[in-house]
A = this chain, B = another copy of it.
Amino acid sequence: MTISMHQASVPLFRRQLGALLAWLDKAEAHATARKFDPNNYLQLRLAPDMLPFVSQIRIASDAAKGCVARLAGVEPPKFEDNEATLAELRERVRKTLAYLDSVPADAVDGSEGRDIVIPMRPPREPVQMKGLFFLQHWALPNFYFHVTTAYALLRHAGVELGKGDFLAVG
């Protein structure tokens, strides 16, 4: 028995984005209890030259949908990047999950050797790699990087989260 490319990608994104939705609920409850605007989370940063919370969630969403689309050989859906509230961020995560569900498993399977081209912010040239390398050494680490940074920002802001909320297993 071995693992297919769909098995090695979509279920990981799904579980973690589902966990993230639950963190957003806890963040909102924390804001309500402390009587501050829950949208204040969106501009929090761990360092002044790191991206804010809102961007961490957007990029986690992009990493998940971009990975699955590129493996399937289709253009990833573009989202507007205009979320201004926690509710809109939640909606973006839900749209990302719906997109992951919409891509047929057999379109992703067999993509180990597919040539993947990742556009970079100009003036950097696009980066090219094979499907398996892209999944394992680019998309997954990048996705977990942004999800964990979002988690760290909420923890730093006092939201009551623990490892069980991160792994969300069982």
Measuring CB to CB, which residues of chain A are less than 8 angstroms from any residue of chain B?
Answer: 1-5, 7-8, 11-12, 15-16, 46-47, 50, 110, 112-113, 127, 129, 132, 136-138, 140-142, 144-145, 148-149, 151-152, 155-156, 158, 163, 166-167, 169-170
A46 to chain B: which residues have CB within 8 Å?
A: 46, 152, 155-156
List B contacts of A136 (CB < 8 A): 8, 11-12
- Whether B138 lies near A141 (C-beta < 8 A) is no
Are B8 and A113 in contact, CB atoms less than 8 angstroms apart?
no
> From residue A134, how far is it (CB to closest CB) to chain B in Å?
9
B170 with A145: CB separation less than 8 A: no
Main secondary structure of the interface of A (DSSP, over half): helix
Inter-chain contact A155/B47, CB cutoff 8 Å: yes
- In the complex, the answer to whether A137 meets B50 with C-beta atoms within 8 Å is no
A46-B152, A155-B50, A166-B145 known; A140 vs B137 contact (CB < 8 Å): no
Of B7, B113, B148, the residue contacting A144 (CB under 8 A) is B148
With contacts A132-B3, A167-B141 known, is A47 near B12, CB below 8 A? no
